[in-house]
Amino acid sequence: MKGLRETFAHDTWVMPYLRKYKGLLILVLFLGFMTFFSGGALMFNSGYLISEAARQPSSIIYIYVPVVLARAFGIARPTFRYIERLTSHNWVLKIVSDFRKKLYQTVERKASAIQRSHQTGDILSILADDIDHIENLYLRTVFPMVIGWLLYLFIVIGVGSLNWVVGLLMLLLLGIIVIVLPLASVATNGVREYRQHQIQHEFYTNLTDEVLGLGDWLISGRYDDFINLQKKPIKQIAQLRKKDHYFQWWRSFFVQFVVLLTTITLLIWAANSFTATKSLANWVAAFALAIFPAVSPFLNMSQGLSEWPVYRRSIERVNQLDRDQPAKVDQNQLEGHFKELKIANVTFKYPDGDRNIVNDISMTIHPGEKVALLGPSGTGKSTFLKLLVGDLIPNDGQILANGKDVSSLQKVRSSLFGILDQQPYLFDTTVMNNVRLGNTNATDDEIKDAIAAVGLKDLIESLPDQYNTEVQETGKRFSGGERQRLSLARILLQDAPIIILDEPTVSLDPITEKKLLDQVFDLLHNKTIIWVTHHLAGIAHVDQVRFLENGHFDMQGTPQELYQQEPRFRQLYDLDRGK
Amino acid sequence: MSRGSEVLIDKRLFNLPGMRRYVIILGILVFLQAIAIIVQARYLSIAIVNLWNLMPIGSIILPTSIFTVAFLCRHLLTVWQNRVLFPFVEKTSGDMRESLMAKIFRLGPAEIDKRGTGNIVTMALEGIDQVQTYLMLVIIKMLDMSITPWLILIYILFIRWEQALFLFIIFPVIILFMVILGLAAQSKADRQYEGYQHLSNHFVDTLRGLSTLKQLGLSKRYANNVYSVSESYRTETMSTLRIALTSTFALDFFTTLSIAVVAVFLGFDLLDGKVMLLPALTILVLAPEYFLPIRNFANDYHATLNGKNAMSAVLDVLHQPEMKQRDELPDFKWNQDSMLTLDHVNFTYPETTQPALKNISVTIKGMQKIGIIGASGSGKSTLINLIGGFLSPDKPDQVAIDGHKLPHLDQAAWQKNFLYIPQNPYLFHATLADNISFYVDNASKQSIEDAAQRAGLTEWIKRLPAGLDTMIGEGARTVSGGQAQRIALARAFLDTDRKVLLFDEPTAHLDIETEAALKKDILPVFSDHLVFFATHRLHWIGEMDYVLVMDHGKLVEQGTPAELAQKNGDYVKLRSEMEASDL
């Protein structure tokens, strides 16, 4: 229980929504209760009906009410169940909409515009799964548990009002099923679940490792090693599953055993209290028949609750997201045209890092200038870009656009910076919609012009759906070069004064690369360009080259100057040209 | 029902080894259980009727005891059924998991890549778990449905045929309604499920594209889009769900109402004295039991369907054809006189019509350095994969080693002779030393250190916390692209038995400084090796003895770099397209 309190101590994901949709929630619980109530009442009523009928009363009037009730409960049960299912699904789906928005907003606050790969996709999938888990928490655990408890209370109070001793016995016996066993299951399963999670995780990572390195395994001919590596976790998983199954089977059996005890208790009670008169004895069958449908919702409560550890991890993970949110900075407007971007003595170190990634860097960039930034991977090129656009805040120094700190210009950032990176993302929608993202107010003609400018007009118009062609998941309908050009069209529409090129050609072959670079610098000739690149192809397009190494610039100048004055640059350039 | 069973049962289920025997044993257990159910109902009714007759408590001791025994037997039989079935299911699914692993190995990286690493791993882990659940569920449920209701019905027939007839007739009616309402709705629900996947993908899609949205200044506004897409999905789902749930509703409605109808008719019959209380009560107690198996069967529709699909998917992979004849080539060592011949080789990827390699003929002898160049999509990588045996030529006998004509190069004896170094060499989650010595059994520490030294790793290793014993790879210390290439290089230095090196764009993604430094360390390994080097970085060509120029799957030119430079053909054209201008 302590764990439960901890989980919900700073919860913003479960409780608030229970409160928000309180009305519907109560309706769901009521309908669920009525479903099982009707099920029990049908058998209760039927038992009474035939017992009374067997007395052969003089008139049909005596059984008229039970006859009507039998039909009523017979129809009520499935109807309540039907409505309950619809209502509960509707309720959960409403919550899911809220969840998705909330998750999106939480992730959005921390996201950076500078991204080198989509690795984070895995983490995001996990988060999306967490949302599903919380959905299941309601449908599979919360609703059945609460409905079960309501029914439990009803039975105990109902029987208790007739005979408090039997009521007390019901409280104890059924309490074993609805309270003790579920809690015991969580306790047992909590430990096992943890272990299982560990082993599965190990198996999962090992197997991924093996499959990704399959080529090496194959060539090395180590077939036996390959197979043996997985034998242990496979066996461990099998053992855990076995324990899990055995536990579940015997638990179900035990639940049934308690049901049996309950039935016998009721029979004995009936034998003692209902055999005084004939009319009283008619109730014996009623109670005996009602017991089985009445306890049916209790049978799966243990299983429902034992899934709690899985849900708990999900709840904790999404709640974790709310922490360490970045501090808010007062926002400003950029007045007039872009005049200069000034980087003044900027130093930056990651909180968990051991060295300054950027160390006292200063430079000023004026409108129309083209700057190339080079350096081996890991020297902080992308950190530098993140600082530049304001996704990271320097420890020391300032980055100023027209004299205003970029961190205060975040609201108007897209009118200042356009970014083309390694893998610009195309959303799973049409070409038209994807390009329109550059400027949502653009007309269809403006979009077509932008597509024509990047040289994709003929290609797109040759497709059966033309501008309404679906780009498919992550834009895989198009080649790498085409995706880059579609993104370039987006940037043309965006029309920001400063364009950041973050290794846009790294996954392209030299011919495509050359064409794209020629096109980029041609179309953006009047923009300011800051270009991070990993080699020297197309370097003639820029008027300034800077090498970033160990947090500062160690070679800088025009490409021509560097070629003439710096042997290292000359050697690299010649190598890049294939000499 | 036949449609329903087809949907939920893969025919191959019955071909699983030992299945028949288990079906018979379980059939007997289910049969015994049905008898227990009848006995339980009968004696509960007797106890109730005795009390109804105002008999003393002593009169119910015997029937209650028999009821108790029957009740316990019934539930013990459930446990027993599971325990009987479980070892079979465990073995079947365990074997399946192991065969899947073996299959993955035999299918090789090209095939696995096509299916997606994630898919294969999920299949081996969750897929097999689902198969296990499916097998546990479906066999017992099927038997339960085909034995229990009918035994109960026969018993009721002996008590009172009118009610038996009613229950018998209502059964196909229920199934009919379930089929009519259910199948239509179910197919809609299945489509809805796809829609759900789509929505879930849309959400992940949005999250993944977040940095792009941020770049475009749209990320804040997009939150409302996320909400409205989700909400419109909800309305859509609810309208479909309303129909989809009718299938369950129909089943529920008819079974519950049938019980009510049975009760009412029994009431009237009792009233008229046509039947006694005991038989009437027995029928009433048995009526829900009669419907229970079909309700159970219908209840877990989606869980069962998922399990069935998982099993079909696993079986499909296991039955996937694989390369055979892997031992056509006798053991040999590549040396100065060895010869590899490709004779008019074509290769077509499955499910495409255009061959990716057309009519490739080339003969390679001894230790040479072969450069393979061409624009992207020209077939460089396909050629390397074919030489590595990951892909098989369209026709046999077009490749040969030392005059042995072979169906393909996926030959164990050939694979012992080469190392394959791709753009991103894979690093295992293991120590650096284990990664370097992956190809060599029992390599000494000294030899590993030497290999690392020659690959230019020493400086880096000195800075690692545990030196050569540092864990690298997924989830451990990340290794830059340049260092990964060096580790692959160290493997080549360490394994002196493998005389053939296949490089596939090893430096394409490296920055120019790293590449320049790496080149110095790669060049020494070229000597005394047969090297295939596919690249579009032109400076490597100067180091090659012989160049193959690829264009649209064809080998358009071959010769020494000097010969090709003089020809003024495709090679010269390609170079001029790739080369940057003077500064």
pLDDT (tens digit per residue) in A179-227: 999 988 888 877 777 777 778 777 777 787 888 888 888 888 788 888 8
How far is the CA of B575 from the CAs of A274, A355, B378, B503, in angstroms?
A: 103, 43, 15, 20
In terms of CA atoms, which chain B residue is nearest residue A505?
B509
> A476 falls in which pLDDT band (50, 70, 90)?
low
Instruction: Give percent above pLDDT 70 in chain B.
Output: 91
Q: How far is A9 from chain B (nearest CA, A)?
A: 27
Q: Judge whether residue B4 has pLDDT over 50.
A: no
pLDDT (tens digit per residue) in A122-134: 556 666 677 777 7
Record: contact A81-B516, CB cut-off 8 A: no
Q: Judge whether residue A507 has pLDDT over 90.
A: no
Record: contact A82-B245, CB cut-off 8 A: yes
> B66 falls in which pLDDT band (50, 70, 90)?
very high
> B69 falls in which pLDDT band (50, 70, 90)?
very high
User: Which of A415-419, B20-24, B476-480 tops mean pLDDT?
Assistant: B20-24
Which pLDDT does position A262 carry in this prediction?
Answer: 92
Tokens representing A251? 């638990």
Cβ-Cβ contacts under 8 Å between A and B: the total is 423
Q: Around Cβ B185, how many Cβ atoms within 10 Å? A: 23
Average pLDDT over residues B165-191: 74
φ, ψ for residue B476 (rounded to 5)?
-120, -155
Q: To probe the interface with A, which of B211, B269, B510, B532 has the most A CB atoms within 10 Å?
A: B211
Record: contact A282-B201, CB cut-off 8 A: no
A42/A12: higher pLDDT: A42
Which pLDDT does position B582 carry in this prediction?
Answer: 64
Q: Judge whether residue A491 has pLDDT over 60.
A: yes
The span from the CA of A348 to the CA of B526, in Å, is 43
| A-chain residues near B583 (CB < 8 A) | 539-540, 559-560, 563, 573
Q: Judge whether residue B174 has pLDDT over 90.
A: no
Complex ipTM value: 0.79
Which pLDDT does position B40 carry in this prediction?
Answer: 93
- Which residues, 6+ apart, have CB-to-CB distance to B473 below 8 Å? A209, B427, B428, B429, B430, B435, B479
Q: Name which of B54, B79, B209 is nearest A278 (Cβ-Cβ).
A: B54
Q: How far is A175 from chain B (nearest CA, A)?
A: 21
| A-chain residues near B242 (CB < 8 A) | 86
Which pLDDT does position B74 carry in this prediction?
Answer: 94
Q: Which of A494, A353, A501, A367 is nearest to A424 (CA)?
A: A501
- Mean pLDDT over all residues of chain A? 82
Q: Judge whether residue B194 has pLDDT over 70.
A: no
B214 and chain A in contact, CB less than 8 A: yes
B497 and chain A in contact, CB less than 8 A: no
Q: Which of B319, B126, B92, B488 is nearest to A207 (CA)?
A: B126
Which of A414-428, B29-43, B358-372, B403-417 is least confident?
A: A414-428
In terms of CA atoms, which chain A residue is nearest residue B218?
A437
Record: contact B241-A50, CB cut-off 8 A: no
Q: Judge whether residue A474 has pLDDT over 80.
A: no
B211 and chain A in contact, CB less than 8 A: yes
Domain B339-417+499-578, CATH number (from 2.70.98.60, 3.50.50.60, 3.40.50.300, 3.30.420.240): 3.40.50.300
Q: How far is B40 from chain A (nearest CA, A)?
A: 11
Which pLDDT does position B3 carry in this prediction?
Answer: 40
Q: Is A334 left (phi over 0), alpha (psi -120 to 50) or beta?
A: beta
Which pLDDT does position A545 carry in this prediction?
Answer: 87
The span from the CA of B583 to the CA of B578, in Å, is 16
User: Which of B40-54, B176-190, B241-255 tops mean pLDDT?
Assistant: B40-54
Q: To probe the interface with A, which of B198, B216, B564 has the most A CB atoms within 10 Å?
A: B216
**How far is C-alpha B571 from the chain's CA centre?**
44
> B71 falls in which pLDDT band (50, 70, 90)?
very high
> B2 falls in which pLDDT band (50, 70, 90)?
very low
Q: To probe the interface with B, which of A80, A106, A218, A421 has the most B CB atoms within 10 Å?
A: A218
> A118 falls in which pLDDT band (50, 70, 90)?
very low
10 Å CB burial of residue A572 (0-12, 13-18, 19+) is buried
Which pLDDT does position A484 carry in this prediction?
Answer: 81
Q: Which of A321, A406, A351, A346 is nearest to A130 (CA)?
A: A321
The span from the CA of A183 to the CA of B295, in Å, is 29
Q: Name which of B132, B516, B579 is nearest A577 (Cβ-Cβ).
A: B579
B460 and chain A in contact, CB less than 8 A: no
Which pLDDT does position B398 carry in this prediction?
Answer: 86
Domains assigned to chain A: 2-112+123-321 (1.20.1560.10), 341-576 (3.40.50.300)
Q: Judge whether residue A121 has pLDDT over 50.
A: no
Buried/exposed A308-345: b ≥16 CB within 10 Å, e otherwise: bbbbbbbbbbbbebeeeeeeeeeebebeeebeebbbee
In terms of CA atoms, which chain B residue is nearest residue A120?
B208
pLDDT (tens digit per residue) in B240-279: 777 767 777 888 888 888 888 888 888 888 888 888 889 9
Q: Judge whether residue A493 has pLDDT over 70.
A: yes
pLDDT (tens digit per residue) in A547-560: 888 788 888 888 88
Which of B81-85, B473-477, B493-497 is least confident?
A: B473-477
- Whether the Cβ atoms of residue A494 and residue A439 lie closer than 8 Å to each other: yes
B559 and chain A in contact, CB less than 8 A: no
| A-chain residues near B473 (CB < 8 A) | 209
In terms of CA atoms, which chain A residue is nearest residue B272?
A56
Instruction: Give percent above pLDDT 90 in chain A.
Output: 11
Average pLDDT over residues A530-559: 83
Tokens representing A301? 């409560």
Q: Around Cβ A526, how many Cβ atoms within 10 Å? A: 8
Which pLDDT does position B476 carry in this prediction?
Answer: 65
Q: To probe the interface with B, which of A100, A135, A229, A263 has the most B CB atoms within 10 Å?
A: A100
> B55 falls in which pLDDT band (50, 70, 90)?
confident
Average pLDDT over residues A268-277: 84
Record: contact B264-A125, CB cut-off 8 A: no
Tell me the Cα Rg of chain A.
Answer: 35
Q: Name which of B56, B252, B271 is nearest A63 (Cβ-Cβ).
A: B271
Record: contact B482-A377, CB cut-off 8 A: yes
Which pLDDT does position B5 carry in this prediction?
Answer: 46
- Which residues, 6+ apart, have CB-to-CB distance to A190 below 8 Å? A308, A309
The span from the CA of B480 to the CA of B487, in Å, is 11
DSSP assigned state of A500? E
User: Which of A12-21, A359-368, A519-528, B37-46 tops mean pLDDT?
Assistant: B37-46
| A-chain residues near B94 (CB < 8 A) | 234, 238
Q: Where are the alpha helices (DSSP H) in B209-276?
A: 210-215, 222-271
**What residues 15-54 of chain B have any CB closer than 8 A to a CB of chain A?**
44, 47-48, 51-54
Q: To probe the interface with B, which of A79, A103, A104 has the most B CB atoms within 10 Å?
A: A104
> A120 falls in which pLDDT band (50, 70, 90)?
very low
pLDDT (tens digit per residue) in B411-441: 888 888 888 888 878 888 888 888 888 888 7
Record: contact B260-A278, CB cut-off 8 A: no
Q: Around Cβ B301, how many Cβ atoms within 10 Å? A: 17
Record: contact A82-B249, CB cut-off 8 A: yes
Average pLDDT over residues A416-430: 80
Residue A250 parent element (H or E) = helix A223-273
